[in-house]
Amino acid sequence: MVIYNVTVKINQDLVDEWLMWMRTHHIPKVLSTGAFRKCRLSKLDIKEEDGVTYVLQYDAMSHEVLTNYMIHHAPALQKEHIDRYANRFVAFRTVLEVVEEIYPKERNS
């Protein structure tokens, strides 16, 4: 599995509106491409003066699926975000390859 990790710092005064737009518009559009199994939305747990940082992690089944998304869907979706929030956010993207998932052993009662 591959994780497409998008980190966004949004201006403080836009947080509520941005979160609503992301939840109701952007994330559903990204997921509707069929490239990802799910999206995990997290908030960075630090105090910042100039904004609030969120991390979106989209789970893709392979690098090929992610590459197809990046070529055919990402440019238009990123442009929509840029057009709506120009100069009021910063973002960067990384790709993580899941090496292993390790779970706790079950305890006997």
CATH number at residue 55: 3.30.70.100
In whole angstroms, give the CA distance from residue 24 to residue 29. Answer: 9
109, part of any domain? no
Number of folded domains in the chain? Answer: 1
Domain of 7? 2-97
Q: Encode pLDDT of 50-103 as tens digits.
A: 899 999 999 999 999 999 999 999 999 999 999 999 999 999 999 999 999 999
In a domain, 108, yes or no: no
pLDDT, mean of residues 4-24: 97
Asked, for residue 85, whether it belongs to a domain, the answer is yes
On whether residue 107 sits in a domain, the answer given is: no
Q: What is the pLDDT of residue 44?
A: 96
Confidence of residue 109 (pLDDT cuts 50, 70, 90): low
Domain assignment of residue 46, yes or no: yes
Q: Which amino acid is at 1?
A: M
